[in-house]
């Protein structure tokens, strides 16, 4: 910071020191503008439409025990989002794969949360015409994180159902992974106010939709169902369908009412950030007997077992 800038900032006593700390970043490596950088040095302009308008798409894949899990499916969704949003990046699929491998290898992480993203970028003339913006691709790898902590994975999450409504698919195509999260964030605060760990919000018909970064499943009489409308078709959600097909379990995407969720035999959520995670309380009341159910437990075991399967994984190219 220049001497003038530093003096100007210090003249305002309400400026919090936490906003001046450039080191509050997770350990990891980012790719930006052709360079591999520490996370603390990966920055975008305040004029980028990704920042100003949430005009961006992204996808997140995870690495477990040094192997990417279902990377091909994440790449399919990312490139699909680029096409639907009329964005272009200077890399083909193989180029993006190489960048992701390099981010993880340079970070040294054996378990990582790996993101690829593209913002609309900025116009050199600050034009409001999105066609004049220069799209920006970036990627990063940081330590693996989970929606649920170790204790919550063992005993289950407490989820609150907020009355906030998810952005309808007529406005934003939910198959395009995006950063339009204000409805989800408002739902999270509703959940925190009620002593819950996380939140689910509703679709435009009043049925259960999804949570901040995760899909939800319920089990009734051995059959699984998950919301079909207005939700991101998550890769872990897709993986549950694949595992159920192999295990001879019935799983369908359909409307899931609040009543159906609360009277289910089992409930779990799914996300790249944590996999399959049990829910044992909803709005303060136990799900069934309040314990992790047999179907959930079985699917969790199958999910992590597949992380060593070469058909679903690919080894990171470490130095």
Three-state SS string over the chain comes to: CCHHHHHHHHCCCCCCHHHHCCCCCCCCEEEECCEEEEHHHCCCCCCCHHHHHCCEEEEEEEEECCEEECHHHHHHHHHHHHHHCCCCCCCCHHHHHHHHHHHHHHHCCCCEEEEEEEEEEECCCCCCCHHHCEEEEEEEEEECCCCCCHHHHHHCEEEEEEEEECCCCCCCCCCCCCCCCHHHHHHHHHHHHCCCCEEEEECCCCCECCECCEEEEEEECCEEEEECCCCCCCHHHHHHHHHHHHHCCCEEEECCCHHHHHCCCEEEEEECCCEEEEEEEECCEECCCCCCCHHHHHHHHHHHHHHHCCCCEEECCCC
Give which of 226, 284, 287 is closest to 255, Cα–Cα: 226
User: In the structure encoding, which two tokens stand for residue 292, read together?
Assistant: 């992790």
Boundary (domain end) residue, out of 143, 164, 179: 143
Residue 313 inside a domain? The answer is no
pTM of the model as a whole? 0.91
Domain count, the chain: 2
Residues 191 and 272 in one domain: yes
pLDDT in tens, 147-180: 999 999 999 999 999 999 999 999 999 999 999 9
pLDDT at 5 over 70: no
Residues 158 and 189 in one domain: yes
Residue 317 inside a domain? The answer is no
Q: How confident is the model at residue 7 (pLDDT cuts 50, 70, 90)?
A: very low
Biggest alpha carbon distance in the chain? Answer: 68
Residues 256 and 133 in one domain: no
Q: What distance in Å separates the CA atoms of residue 68 and residue 141, rounded to the nearest whole number?
A: 12
Give me the residues paired with residue 119 across strands.
Answer: 56, 136
Residues 297 and 186 in one domain: yes
Residues 97 and 181 in one domain: no
pLDDT at 4 over 70: no
Boundary (domain end) residue, out of 114, 143, 172: 143
Q: C-alpha distances in angstroms, 112 versus 94, 148, 209, 276?
A: 20, 16, 27, 17
Residues 168 and 78 in one domain: no
- Average pLDDT over all residues of the chain: 93
Q: How confident is the model at residue 201 (pLDDT cuts 50, 70, 90)?
A: very high
As a whole number, mean pLDDT of residues 266-279 equals 98
Residues 10 and 126 in one domain: yes
Residues 158 and 296 in one domain: yes
Give which of 50, 173, 184, 169 is closest to 117, Cα–Cα: 50
Residue 33 inside a domain? The answer is yes
Residues 301 and 162 in one domain: yes
Give me the residues paired with residue 161 across strands.
Answer: 200
User: In the structure encoding, which two tokens stand for residue 221, read together?
Assistant: 């009489």
Q: What distance in Å separates the CA atoms of residue 154 and residue 302, rounded to the nearest whole number?
A: 16
Residue 319 inside a domain? The answer is no
Residues 297 and 154 in one domain: yes
pLDDT at 86 over 50: yes
Boundary (domain end) residue, out of 127, 143, 159: 143
Q: Is 172 in contact with 203 (CB distance < 8 Å)?
A: no
Residues 123 and 220 in one domain: no
User: In the structure encoding, which two tokens stand for residue 209, read together?
Assistant: 């939709």
CATH number at residue 72: 3.30.470.10
Is residue 6 packed enough to be buried (19+ CB in 10 Å), middle (13-18) or exposed (0-12)? exposed
Compute how many other C-beta atoms are within 10 angstroms of the C-beta atom of residue 103: 26
Q: How confident is the model at residue 217 (pLDDT cuts 50, 70, 90)?
A: very high
Residues 162 and 298 in one domain: yes
Chain-centroid distance, C-alpha 210: 12
Q: Which domain holds residue 245?
A: 150-307
CATH number at residue 226: 3.20.10.10
Q: How confident is the model at residue 12 (pLDDT cuts 50, 70, 90)?
A: very low
């Amino acid at each position: 910071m220049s001497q003038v800038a530093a003096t100007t900032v210090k003249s305002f006593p309400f400026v919090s020191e936490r906003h001046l700390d450039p080191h509050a970043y997770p350990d990891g490596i980012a790719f930006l503008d052709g360079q591999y950088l520490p996370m603390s040095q990966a920055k975008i302009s305040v004029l980028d439409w990704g920042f100003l308008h949430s005009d961006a798409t992204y996808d997140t894949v995870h690495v477990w025990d040094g192997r990417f899990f279902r990377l091909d499916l994440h790449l399919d969704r990312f490139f699909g989002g680029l096409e639907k949003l009329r964005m272009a990046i200077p890399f083909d699929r193989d180029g993006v794969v190489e960048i992701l491998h390099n981010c993880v290898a340079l970070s040294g992480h054996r378990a990582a949360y790996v993101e690829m993203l593209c913002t609309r970028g900025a116009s050199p003339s600050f034009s409001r015409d999105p066609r004049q913006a220069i799209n920006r691709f970036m990627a990063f790898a940081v330590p693996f994180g989970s929606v649920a902590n170790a204790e919550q994975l063992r005993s289950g999450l407490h989820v609150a159902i907020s009355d906030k409504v998810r952005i309808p698919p007529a406005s934003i195509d939910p198959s395009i992974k995006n950063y339009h999260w204000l409805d989800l964030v408002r739902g999270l605060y509703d959940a925190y106010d009620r002593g819950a760990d996380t939140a689910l919000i509703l679709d435009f018909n009043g049925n259960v939709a999804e949570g901040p970064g995760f899909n939800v499943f319920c089990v009734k009489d051995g059959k699984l169902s998950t919301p079909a409308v207005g939700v991101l078709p998550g890769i872990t959600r897709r993986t549950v369908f694949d595992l159920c097909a192999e295990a001879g379990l019935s799983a369908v995407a359909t409307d899931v009412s609040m009543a159906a969720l609360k009277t289910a035999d089992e409930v779990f959520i799914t996300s790249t950030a944590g996999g399959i995670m049990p829910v044992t309380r909803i709005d303060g009341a136990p799900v069934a007997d309040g314990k992790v159910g047999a179907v959930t437990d079985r699917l969790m075991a199958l999910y992590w077992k597949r992380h060593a399967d070469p058909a679903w994984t690919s080894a990171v190219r470490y130095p």
